[in-house]
Structure 1
Amino acid sequence: MDVEAVVSIVIRKLTDLLIQEPIIFNNAIDEIELVRISLRQMQSFLIEAEDKKEHDEGVKKWVDQFLAVVYEVEDAIETFVLRKMYATRMGYFFIPKNLKADSDLCKKIEGIKDKIKNLDKSKTEMDQGEPLRIRQLTLHRSRSSYQDEGLTLNQQNNDSRYSVDEETDFIGFKKDKGKLVTMLTGSGRESGDYQKLPLISGKSTKEELTQKIHMILKEKRYLVVLDDLQTPDVWKKLLDAFPDTKNGSRVMLTTSNYRVALRADTRGEPHQLNPLNDVDTWELFLKKVRLPDNFQFSESDMFKLKRKIKRRCKGLPLAITVLGGLLSTKEVSYEVWLKVIEHPSWQLDSKQVQFSNVLALSYNDLPFHLRPCFLYLRLFPKDYDIPVRRLLRLWLAEGFVKQTSGMTPEDTVEIYLEELVKRSMIQISKRRKDGSPKTCRMLGVLHNDSNFLSKAQEIGLFHIYQLPEMGTPKHRVRRFADYVDTKEYPLRIQHLRSYLSFYIQKNDMPATEIDSFLSQVIGQGFGLLRVLDLERVYKPKLPNNMGKLFLLLRYLGLRWTFLDSLPDSVGELPYLETLDVKHTYISSLPSSIWKMKHLRHLCLNEIRLDMHSQKHGSSLTHLQTLWGLFVDNKTPVKDGLYRLINLRKLGLTCHLDAFQELDEWIARLASLQSLKIRSKNQNGQPWKLNLKPLSSLENLTHLYLLGSLPELHDRYEFPPKLTVLTLSVSKLEKDPMPILAQLPSLSVLRLLADSYTGKEMECPPGGFSMLRILKLWMLKDLEIWKVGEEALPILRELEIRCCDKLQELPDKLLSLRNIKEIVLTNMPQKFVDNVQAIKLEKKLIFPKTLQF
């Protein structure tokens, strides 16, 4: 099914081209349609052939030949379309050279058709021999694979699609935890209050890093954890960083290599984590499989399942997690689960856990359209935190996502991610305060599994430069990633579809080699590149002939590159879907941006768009994200921004004397989900923000407002589904808490600098029923804070920063049942001492963190 996924992507791209540009193909359109139909007809055989190729060299050769033909079709047609489009744009559509292009394509198509006939003949001969049988799981799905039922971890909030449960993965290690605490502290008690150390820039040299760490830790009692140490050499190089203070400081290493642990400290025996016992195995499994609350197996079936899961996973947490994620997608039935657990692909070994069996079973159960999405993560370096925003837009640009009726591509691709997370094939590494995923990664054990890299290489999905395991590509390189300098790249790259660079230069040296590499990609003709992702590559030099990527380029990612400008030819990319220049020094975009009729995500760095020369009334109507826009009195709102009606995310900085037109435009954005508005004056200082109530935006869940606001009078001034609210420099004189407390879905509230200028603040009784996170920053006049009975019932995190006049923390906050973390930052010592005194007086045992 891996090859079938690739074939489906190519056929889908070809179908889109035939629909979007039928006139380009002229006399060749019938021939191309025949090829497309032939490829689709052979897919049914392909499913069986792929399954059998593991055991039959002849079938394996046939599959490889078929894939090569598919790639040849893609290259021939896309190259032809590029040439025809360029000729059309230059006004040369009917010149003889262009007729020759038609003739050349027809000849190539004839050759391809002959190859397909030969493949079809080979298929018939194989059919006449031993019949191919589909060896696959026949499993029912009573629960849809694409339900919003809370993914790998728990549910924090009824409105949150993604959820978090900090307790989920910490199962079965209570004794280990106690022993480690004893080893680290000399007693069975846990450490008391702690202070986080400042982060250190990753741009430092090793010597500078060692010296900085040493200076920070000097004369302090510290605990340093070095996670996943693979070689003792790393430990030896870091020894000088940790001062020997003789004050009980500790350094803890974690490693999966016993010899590394022994060599790191020859004086003692390393502590080994044992497999989970039967009870803990079952508890972790149930958390991952997420049984319905009202479902129970019979006692007999439960006993058999426990025994079989124990036998398969042998107490290994990762194996239990992946198996639970797999079974979470199946019908909750003893018979169905048994088919998975007893699948013949398992190879039992009584002496060791065959974890690769669990991974292979979970991968083989993936729907074919999710397989390229999963394998694509292997392009990224190990332990690399991938921004979810970046990954989803890359999947879209690569053509991995099938169009779903009644849904936008953005909705569909989010479902893809949910499914992979639910199956524990992707790990969410960082979440936003509202529980939504911010970054993700491929689990280290999956990244290390050579089988997945082999699968990607076998189908020509991608190539990673100077990665020894990859070897020589079997097919032409189509997707390429580098972790080092690419100047000496030896392979042909004219047919490259995607280029992702993770080469972060030292000492802020501009990446000038990018220019020569991309010039090779474009070559003498036209580039076939769909994705150019240079995020965090410092000042990459882009070629001036970027316009030769005009037909296929879908994604241009330049975030955090600190570029000063873009080539003018960037404006000649009408099919671009994502343009990201956030965190750069780019101050303007060409007016031809309005010709990008397919643009869906535009991320800027406080740029004013040139709209006066804009005559394309239907342009940018597909735009979903517009972030980093600068709006002032020169910006035409009614004659410009009014045309952008499908926005879901809008972030802008404005300098306006009147907000009426802006209000009217925003009120029309019925699909808007996230809104950030910062009002500033000509000196860049916060300014008035006289917006009208936003209650008409029924889909808005995230709202950030910077600038002075009128007084709040009613909760209905806010959108009904608001879950995250941030106010900054609002200069509200009247206590906003009684009104904000009534918002039924509010989960995160941030009152930042000067958002409230009064002396007293009260959370009314029973208020803030859904609030989990509260931040109070730089409320310089606040003296008294009261919390009523049964207010803030599920508050989990509280941070108070630089509220210098606040006299005390309300007693009720320290005794709230659900609170996990209280952070006091730059607060007066008297205030901190008072909190400590209340804690001691009431004998409060903190299962929570109290930071000062």
Structure 2
Amino acid sequence: MLHEYSTRKEREEAWRMMAEGRNEEAKEMRHRNSTLKTNDTPDWDTINWAEVDDTRDLAKIVLSRVIEKLYVVRIQEPTVLVGVEEDVIWIQRKLMRARVEPEYSPEELMDVAYDFEDMIDDLMLRSPAKQRRIGNWERCLLIIRIHKKLILIKSKIPALPCLPIAIGACANHDNYFEERVWSDIFLIHDRSVANTIVSPVEQKVSALLAQEVIHPHTKKKVMRVLDKFRSLNDFLTGLQSVELDACGMVWMEELSHLALSAVTAIEDFINKKEQFTKSRMRPSRGFLFAFGKLKSEDKLSVEMDKMYAKIQNLSMHRPIEFSRQSQSRDTESTVRISPQPTTQEPKLASFNDDVHAMVKRLLTDDKSFRVIPIMGMEGIGKTTLAKLIFNNKDVLNHFPFGVWTSDGYEFHLRDKEKLMDSNLGQLGDVWNYHVELQRLKAFLIDKRSLIVLDDTHIPFLDHDDFDYSQISLPPNFRTRSDPHLLRLRGDEESWALFTHALKNSIPPELLKLKDKIVRRCGGLPLLIVKLAEAVSHKDATIEEWSTVLQQFHHDQQQLWSNTLYKIHEDLSLYMRRCLFYFTLFPKDFDIPARRLMALWVAEDLVQPEGENETPEDVAERCLNMLIAQGMVQVTKKKLNGNVKMMRLPDVLRQYWLSKAQQATFLGIHTDTRSELSLGTSRIRRLVDHLDKEDVSFDHIHGDYNTTSTSLPSYYEDVLSFMSFDTRKESKPGEDVRNFLRQSISSGCFLVLLVLDLENVFRPKLPEAIGKLSRLRYLGLRSTFLEILPSSISKLQNVQTLDMKHTSINTVPESIWKLQQLRHLYLSESYRSKLMLGQGTNFPTILQTLCGLFLDEETPVRDGLDRLLNIRKLGLTMSSKQQAMSFQLQAVVDWVLKLNQLQSLRLKSIDQNNQPWDLELKPLVSLVNLSYIYLLGRLRNPSVMSQFPYSLIDLTLSASGLVEDPMQSLDKLPNLRSLKLLAKSYLGKNMLCSFGGFPQLRVLKLWKLEQLEEWNVEKGALQALRDLEIRFCRSLKILPAELLHRTLLKIEVIPAQ
């Protein structure tokens, strides 16, 4: 009830006056009733109406959700309303009415709505399914609790405080009566920046509410924060494909950080609660449990209050010009240019994989491959690839006739019999063009043909009367057909293309410029050819070529500007934040794919959509998308084709580095950042590049002692700390220890999610590291670390612990206290053993366990075999042969239960480190298994014919096979890489039969000393691209079938 107007009739009259524009009369009526104004009523002139409007919108969302929740209860569980239905319906009507009236205080209205939602949750406990789980006493208490809550809510509604009607806001009052569409509230958003920010908060709140009942007051505050994030969903969705200015990106980064803080705060509470629950089981711990739970809940309540205030502030200060900017984006700053033609044709070897993939699709009978678009950024080689395919021998045999159209008015006809390239027509006006189309139609109607459409269209191809396949070169990334996406070339492909385009031999002294040349071009074929043309006109000296490289920078920026434009047009905001992470690594640094994706996951930059999808799956798909769109350059691949190393091209890295700094993604070490930030000038992501100009250099490596009071001003809000101090001496390790110890003792790094010390020589981790309770990623790979601090078991939220290539040979049993652990990498070369006791509580969500050393004392049965979610498993087994027989059998039985297994690495060695017996059973049931590495003598060789069809990469070493393995393996339809290493095959003859190994691309034969004859039938190994033979002393002649394969690289290293 508005205190400014004594009756509802007067309030309605005031509304009518304002709707008619009679604001002064309405204001006079308010003054006449001012004597009725109470002390609780806010003063007209002191109200922040923008904040009220923002909170009112949130209140509408909360009310809509609660009313919908009750609607679902009434439909699905009507029996729970028996005895209280009248009161519940009364409250529902009052809230629905309050939802469309602007007079009530939105804060108080939300408070009532949350109370009502809590009561609805209690009503659900009265459902028949849940009533069976509780006793009579609990049922009575539940009824009493529900009635008390109903009385409280009914008393709050009439006492709701009201706001004065804002005269200046009356023109917009119709918005308050606009009904919100129900489907909008429960809409499942596409993966977007909105999803990546809001979804993690929703998941953690769901996990919290699934726990034992928390106090309604705390629950209310948590839901209020979640609802505030949800209220920004539509706004965040509108930011997709919008180029944000500096302030906009700062706002976005602040919101992302706040969401991450909410997630980690709830994680802390859940972990604390689990600890208290365990301690409750011990004698005399009941009081401590109650006190600890109360203290933890109070802390969560306080943090939720702080977060709500922060997100309210962010919501109030959100950029209001986004919608207009998205429609009128300034494209003048990104100049689009057309690629300049070049006289050089790229070397086929640079496009081997692409030609093979395209030819394979064209020659199949599958009609879904009838139209194949080639897509990629300008200058990446779309037209070049189309020409290579158009003139390919196999394609020529399959398609006797070919037509190439470009510019809409020009046709080129290729006739296999005449082997000619002649003009069918070069026409000047549209009428002649249509005449020529009819001639072309008549010519092709009874001929099998290949048609290349270069940014044009032929209407009659839309019908099924023609026997043709089509390659199209569309101008953008929008197509209905499954496209072939061209990527940037790798370093070796780039160098091959450069040397081919140069047409001259390169003096040995200039080979030292190789790395600089390939890095400068960033894998873009057009740039590579243009650079080759530029240096071909200069003297072959280091000075001349270096000068050309410096001058080439301008051309490079012009060509890359088109890619930047595509980023602004097509790349979502959350994908741009993933790109920001590349800038944390040093310039020209080859970034391991597994490392980058783990960092994305640790900071919640990627979110899974379904129950069967993991964050790692999303991260891999995100990376592949960036590669496919020409934004990330793959510099090294694994033999099975997966990405191993990559980097950003120089120009793109410079661009994203500036954007990341503007958005404060990195954190700027000067006070200038405060001009952009909404509330903090602290560093978010600390990276040690050994840069003496960086203020953090003195803190980490300086000789003076930084006062403990000054450190928090820099490092209190740091989310990740990465060090690239790769000096091979003791100082890097000591510097890390001192810096971490002093910072943690000063209250810094307490919200740290990532601690990545990969390649830092023997860092000494302080015991204080146990205080980093929110840490998710601890990277110690290749550090040769010798000991873990005992406090490591306190890192309850660690998801990835990477200790590969360390000097740790015994990992304490307390490591299993890390119940959130998903990826554990141990040091295989140092024989890392895990201490395991009876009844060890393993983290059931563990997906990766690599480098583990097993002996006869390691509990596998009724121990490790309880880990059933393993996707990647790597074990080394060694001890006394007799005692290990039982262990080998236990390992095999465990492996067969791992239905999610994708990678398996098993090594069996004796006490002298020599290959020993390896037990294995058929693995055909493991349908997700794609990688297998086996070292040891196979007791059951018949398993060679029972590998799963999903297998992509197989390595055998010391297997002791006496029968030709090729006869069993050649039927695996997806096998791409096969390595037969020393003593894997002991026979003299090997045969690859017709049609065998349809996908095999890499074949390595090492130290097969008994092999004398290898035959390859015609039609076998059709996809083979890389053949490597080493130290096969008895093999004198290579198969004739392989000697004339133009795309096959053969390397033979004879036995010494």
TM-score (norm. length: structure 1): 0.68
Aligned to 1:553: 775
Deviation at 1:174, TM superposition (A): 11
Please, which of 395, 398, 422 is the counterpart of residue 603 of structure 2? 398
Please, which of 832, 844, 849 is the counterpart of residue 607 of structure 1? 832
1:240-259 mapped onto 2 (5 Å cutoff): none
- Where structure 2 has 5 or more consecutive residues not aligned to the other structure, the ranges are 1-190, 280-284, 330-350, 362-482, 521-529, 691-696, 879-883
Say whether the 8 Å CA contact 2:519–2:588 is kept in structure 1. no
Would the alpha carbon gap of residues 471 and 746 (structure 1) be closer, same or farther in structure 2, given more than 3 Å must change? farther
Q: Does residue 180 of structure 1 match 2:385?
A: no
Aligned to 2:763: 540
Would the alpha carbon gap of residues 388 and 177 (structure 1) be closer, same or farther in structure 2, given more than 3 Å must change? closer
Deviation at 1:680, TM superposition (A): 0.5
Please, which of 725, 731, 737 is the counterpart of residue 503 of structure 1? 725
Deviation at 1:824, TM superposition (A): 1.5
Secondary structure in 1 aligned to 2:1003? strand
Deviation at 1:401, TM superposition (A): 1.3
Aligned to 2:582: 377
1:106-125 mapped onto 2 (5 Å cutoff): 113=308
Would the alpha carbon gap of residues 103 and 670 (structure 1) be closer, same or farther in structure 2, given more than 3 Å must change? closer
1:292-307 mapped onto 2 (5 Å cutoff): none
Say whether the 8 Å CA contact 1:230–1:257 is kept in structure 2. no
Say whether the 8 Å CA contact 1:535–1:558 is kept in structure 2. yes
Distance in 1 of aligned mates of 2:544 and 2:631 = 39
Deviation at 1:79, TM superposition (A): 6.4
Secondary structure in 2 aligned to 1:545? helix
Q: Which moved more, 1:568-577 or 1:484-493?
A: 484-493
Say whether the 8 Å CA contact 1:385–1:441 is kept in structure 2. yes
Deviation at 1:168, TM superposition (A): 10
Q: Which moved more, 1:724-733 or 1:106-115?
A: 106-115
Distance in 1 of aligned mates of 2:513 and 2:817 = 52
Please, which of 515, 529, 550 is the counterpart of residue 227 of structure 1? 515
Q: Does residue 652 of structure 1 match 2:875?
A: yes
Deviation at 1:799, TM superposition (A): 1.0
Secondary structure in 1 aligned to 2:785? coil
The percent identity for this pair of structures is: 35
- Higher helix residue share: 2
Deviation at 1:408, TM superposition (A): 2.1
Say whether the 8 Å CA contact 1:724–1:748 is kept in structure 2. yes
Aligned to 1:287: none
Would the alpha carbon gap of residues 153 and 378 (structure 1) be closer, same or farther in structure 2, given more than 3 Å must change? farther
Say whether the 8 Å CA contact 1:47–1:134 is kept in structure 2. no
Say whether the 8 Å CA contact 2:797–2:821 is kept in structure 1. yes
Say whether the 8 Å CA contact 1:496–1:521 is kept in structure 2. no
Secondary structure in 1 aligned to 2:564? helix
Deviation at 1:585, TM superposition (A): 0.9
Distance in 2 of aligned mates of 1:807 and 1:393 = 47
Q: Does residue 692 of structure 1 match 2:883?
A: no
Say whether the 8 Å CA contact 1:77–1:105 is kept in structure 2. no
Distance in 2 of aligned mates of 1:690 and 1:70 = 50
Distance in 2 of aligned mates of 1:660 and 1:779 = 29
Aligned to 1:480: 686
Aligned to 1:33: 223
Deviation at 1:747, TM superposition (A): 1.9
The one-letter code matched in structure 1 to 2:590 is D
Aligned to 1:135: 326
Distance in 2 of aligned mates of 1:627 and 1:34 = 42
Secondary structure in 2 aligned to 1:779? coil
Aligned to 2:26: none
Distance in 2 of aligned mates of 1:14 and 1:151 = 46
Say whether the 8 Å CA contact 1:151–1:163 is kept in structure 2. no
1:75-86 mapped onto 2 (5 Å cutoff): 78=264, 82=268
Q: Deviations over 1:194-238 (max 9, x none)?
A: xxxxxxxxxxxxxxxxxxxxxxx9xxx995443327999xxxxxx
Aligned to 2:1007: 778
Q: Deviations over 1:58-81 (max 9, x none)?
A: xx49x8578657756865885697
Distance in 1 of aligned mates of 2:491 and 2:266 = 53
Would the alpha carbon gap of residues 94 and 714 (structure 1) be closer, same or farther in structure 2, given more than 3 Å must change? closer
Say whether the 8 Å CA contact 1:153–1:165 is kept in structure 2. no
Distance in 2 of aligned mates of 1:721 and 1:376 = 33
Please, which of 354, 359, 383 is the counterpart of residue 564 of structure 2? 359
Q: Which moved more, 1:389-398 or 1:686-695?
A: 686-695
1:335-734 mapped onto 2 (5 Å cutoff): 353=558, 355-356=560-561, 358-405=563-610, 406-449=612-655, 452-463=656-667, 475-484=681-690, 485=697, 486-488=700-702, 492-507=714-729, 509-525=731-747, 527-550=750-773, 552-605=774-827, 606-616=831-841, 619-655=842-878, 656-658=884-886, 659-710=888-939, 712-713=941-942, 716-734=945-963
Secondary structure in 2 aligned to 1:410? helix
Q: Does residue 751 of structure 1 match 2:1016?
A: no
Deviation at 1:453, TM superposition (A): 2.4
Secondary structure in 2 aligned to 1:492? helix
Deviation at 1:694, TM superposition (A): 1.9
Distance in 2 of aligned mates of 1:268 and 1:110 = 62
Would the alpha carbon gap of residues 730 and 136 (structure 1) be closer, same or farther in structure 2, given more than 3 Å must change? farther
Say whether the 8 Å CA contact 2:767–2:789 is kept in structure 1. yes
Would the alpha carbon gap of residues 513 and 523 (structure 1) be closer, same or farther in structure 2, given more than 3 Å must change? same
Distance in 1 of aligned mates of 2:938 and 2:1025 = 28
Deviation at 1:389, TM superposition (A): 0.9
Deviation at 1:674, TM superposition (A): 1.3
Secondary structure in 2 aligned to 1:657? helix
Secondary structure in 1 aligned to 2:766? coil
Aligned to 2:1052: 824
Radius of gyration: which is bigger? Answer: 2
Aligned to 1:244: none
Distance in 2 of aligned mates of 1:458 and 1:166 = 27
Distance in 2 of aligned mates of 1:801 and 1:111 = 65
Say whether the 8 Å CA contact 1:69–1:115 is kept in structure 2. no
Secondary structure in 1 aligned to 2:1005? strand
Would the alpha carbon gap of residues 50 and 797 (structure 1) be closer, same or farther in structure 2, given more than 3 Å must change? closer
Please, which of 189, 192, 205 is the counterpart of residue 18 of structure 1? 205
Aligned to 1:798: 1027
Aligned to 1:292: none
Aligned to 2:340: none
Distance in 1 of aligned mates of 2:757 and 2:496 = 44
Alignment length (residue pairs): 672
Say whether the 8 Å CA contact 1:465–1:482 is kept in structure 2. no
Distance in 2 of aligned mates of 1:455 and 1:736 = 54
Say whether the 8 Å CA contact 2:491–2:635 is kept in structure 1. no
Distance in 1 of aligned mates of 2:518 and 2:636 = 23
Would the alpha carbon gap of residues 792 and 68 (structure 1) be closer, same or farther in structure 2, given more than 3 Å must change? closer
The one-letter code matched in structure 2 to 1:556 is L
Deviation at 1:663, TM superposition (A): 1.7
- Where structure 1 has 5 or more consecutive residues not aligned to the other structure, the ranges are 139-149, 186-216, 233-252, 276-313, 320-352, 829-852
